[in-house]
Amino acid sequence: MPSSKQESLFRSAGVVSAAIFLSRISGLVREQVMGALFGAGPESDAFVVAVRIPNLMRDLFAEGALSSAFIPAFTRSLANDGKAAAAKLSNLVAGSLIAIVGAICLLGMIFSPQLVQLFASGYREIPGKFELTVHLTRIMFPFLLLVALAAQAMGILNALNQFGVAALSSTFFNLGSVIFGLSAGYLIGPRLGFTPIVGMAYGVLCGGAWQILWQTPSLRREGLAPWPSLRIGDYFAHPGLRQIFFLMGPALLGNAATQINITVNTNFATSLTDAAGHVVSGPASWLQYAFRFMQLPLGLFGVAIASATLPSISRSAAAGDIAEFRRTVARSLGIAMLLTVPSSVGLVALGPSMIGVVYERGAFHAEDTHQTAVALSCYAIGLASYSALKILAPAFYALNDARTPMLVSLGSIAVNYGVAYSLVKRVGTGHAGLAFSTSMVSIFGSVALFLALRRRVGGLEGRKLAVSAAKICGAAAVMGAAVMASSSFILGGGFASPKWARVADLAVSAPLGLLVFYLASRALRVEELEAALAAVAAPLARRFGIGRDKMP
């Protein structure tokens, strides 16, 4: 029978998943708007690279190194020293972010041409594309500061076990970027002389500000709304702030390796040529649209489980309860496998139909659907590993060990470059090879971190996890066969419109896949499935007075 801790973890992750589901759906709507308006052409490519540059540093200073270092330190301060001390630490972090990240934003705007040259040197071969990318980069660079402050707010709320409000903040970013972007591009832009794609860039800034404003009332109710401290001496004397910077140092280096990988892949993507040797438009956009689809299950499951896990393992590590730490990490990995392995199979089997239904309209054509689906299949291979990384890397930070994730990340540079160069330059797989290299990096990183953490804490229930993995993969294989048979039958059924054939495919094959996976998992007695069912059934049982022995 699943433990109450496992059920609690499922429920916490479920709250985050529900909020992230809205976020990812709103993100798909944002990408759908971009696809319909700009397709996968020069403007779309320019926007993708321009927003990616501050987003890379966002991974360094926001959801990456900052969150991993800040949440354990803030949780310890809140548990051991009280709310006033935790609030002081939060204020010092906010002040540090404004000073440091603000300076980085200013430098980024000044040196945008050099950054675009680093990421997309091939754009110089297409008239106006390089200059547009530089202009958009300068507009969107301040987004880095906004999202760093939003990530700090999310960290505080997660430490207080208020997962829903924090997870919903990304929804407000997506909605804000679309609403304000369309308003700026089509209502204000014609009067001020800038184009719709420039308006969408301004929308990104407005969305970032709305993300902060959404979380502020919850922080104020807790008395923990960050307000930068003006006492300069506190920034040098506070031990908690020093601890955060101590953890962030190696974390920055480790995350920098990820950014190097993305930079390498972006440069490959923006330099891909056709048979005549001319740089083509499209690969950067295809990869972006595909990764947006993969972010739906990644956010729903991987990020949600990691967000629910980190405060718990931080408390266990602070209390010196390594046994509970091990159990929580192992439970989280098992849950992640249960949810992401079938998701990977579903993305591969139903990717063309999903992308066609969501994106194929306006400037987004059938060829764009095909190329995006190819990239999605290659990304999906690494979904389970990517989710495991979201759990394993923060586990080391909870143990005050930022060095191990850093070394693994540095090793991933060689893996990524070797795979990407071989597939793109030698084999000629194009953008699909770049998506595949990303998956290989996540597999390498998750295996390396799992082995290192197992040695560090004296085991992670490896045998039990291996049995669960085998059962889950078996159930997913049965599901995949059923979905592919159903999809092939429906798409070949003679629908007058390919669009309606895809809609029918999703309407029939997706529920069929879920049912088959559920039945196969029950037949194989997958323990994590029982915990998931218990986590869902327990609140209903309490509400209606059903005894635990009568729950499924």
Reply yes or no on whether the pLDDT at 109 is more than 60. yes
Q: Mind listing the pLDDT tens digit for each residue in 17-45?
A: 666 677 777 877 888 888 888 887 889 88
Phi, psi at residue 273, to the nearest 5°?
-120, 160
pTM to 2 decimal places: 0.72
Contact between 30 and 174 under an 8 Å Cβ cutoff? The reply is yes
- In a domain? residue 504: no
Q: Mind listing the pLDDT tens digit for each residue in 342-369?
A: 999 999 999 999 999 988 888 888 899 9
Split at pLDDT 50, 70, 90, the class of 518 is very high
d(CA 34, CA 30): 6
Contact between 508 and 486 under an 8 Å Cβ cutoff? The reply is yes
Q: Which of 126-140, 167-181, 397-411, 533-547 has the highest mean pLDDT?
A: 126-140
Q: How many residues are there in the chain?
A: 552
- In a domain? residue 394: no
Q: Which residues partner with 303 through β-bridges? A: none
Q: What is the mean pLDDT of the chain?
A: 83
d(CA 461, CA 454): 9
Report the half-sphere exposure of 296 (CA within 13 A, side-chain side).
20
Split at pLDDT 50, 70, 90, the class of 281 is confident
Count of structural domains within the chain: 1
- In a domain? residue 91: yes
Q: What is the mean pLDDT of residues 304-318?
A: 72
For 392, the token pair is: 């394993």
- The alpha carbon of residue 462 and the mean position of all alpha carbons in its chain are separated, in whole angstroms, by 26
Residue type, 506: L
Ramachandran sector of residue 3 (left: φ over 0; alpha: ψ -120 to 50; beta: rest): beta
Residues 6 or more apart whose CB falls under 8 angstroms from that of 87 comprise 223, 224
Residues 6 or more apart whose CB falls under 8 angstroms from that of 36 comprise 359, 361, 362, 363, 364
- Quote the pLDDT of residue 548: 43
| Sign of CA pseudo-dihedral 69, 395, 389, 16 | negative
- In a domain? residue 344: no
Residues 6 or more apart whose CB falls under 8 angstroms from that of 501 comprise 490, 491, 493, 495
- Per the structure, the complete domain to which residue 87 belongs is given by 39-248
Contact between 219 and 157 under an 8 Å Cβ cutoff? The reply is yes
- In a domain? residue 410: no
Q: Which residues partner with 60 through β-bridges? A: none
- The alpha carbon of residue 406 and the mean position of all alpha carbons in its chain are separated, in whole angstroms, by 19
- In a domain? residue 226: yes
Give start and end residues of each alpha helix (H) in 82-195. 83-110, 112-119, 129-140, 143-159, 163-183, 189-192
- Quote the pLDDT of residue 13: 57
- In a domain? residue 288: no
Q: Which residues partner with 273 through β-bridges? A: 279
Split at pLDDT 50, 70, 90, the class of 507 is very high
Q: Which residues partner with 65 through β-bridges? A: none
Residues 6 or more apart whose CB falls under 8 angstroms from that of 221 comprise none
- In a domain? residue 52: yes
Q: Mind listing the pLDDT tens digit for each residue in 59-102?
A: 666 555 666 677 778 888 887 888 888 888 888 888 888 888 89
Contact between 455 and 310 under an 8 Å Cβ cutoff? The reply is no
| Sign of CA pseudo-dihedral 345, 346, 349, 352 | negative
Q: What is the CA radius of gyration of the chain?
A: 23
Cβ neighbour number for residue 433 with a 10 Å cutoff: 25
Residues 6 or more apart whose CB falls under 8 angstroms from that of 536 comprise 10, 14
- The three-state DSSP-derived secondary structure of 229-290 is CCCHHHHHHCHHHHHHHHHHHHHHHHHHHHHHHHHHHHHHHHCCECCCCCECCCHHHHHHHH
**14 vs 506, higher pLDDT:** 506
Q: Mind listing the pLDDT tens digit for each residue in 226-270?
A: 788 777 777 777 887 887 777 776 666 666 666 677 778 878 888
